[in-house]
Amino acid sequence: MIRVYDFLCLTDHMFELFVSEEIEEATCPECGTKARRIISGGNFKLDAMSGDYPTATAKWAKHHERAANGKN
């Protein structure tokens, strides 16, 4: 299966490639050095309005309370 993966080269350039899951190395398009596939962080956001995530809800409430009082 082909997916998008993050790669990091020896000179710290990070880039994404659509490759097969077996591919663990690639060539950096910026400098040409060897790059290894890395684990990248997920991209999600908790719904603070739902109340299902107490810490997210508390953070949301605190932020909006400060904004209402004119403090950022």
- Structure confidence by residue, pLDDT tens digits, 16-30: 999 999 999 999 999
DSSP state of 57: H
Which backbone phi and psi does 40 adopt, to 5 degrees? -105, 155
Structure-token pair, residue 47 = 């719904």
pLDDT in tens, 34-72: 999 999 877 777 777 777 888 888 888 899 899 998 875
d(CA 58, CA 63): 9
Q: What is the pLDDT of residue 72?
A: 59
Q: Indicate whether 5 pLDDT > 80.
A: yes
Between these two residues, 56 and 14, which has the higher pLDDT value? 14
Nearest to 31 by CA among 8, 15, 13: 13
d(CA 11, CA 28): 9
pTM for this entry: 0.58
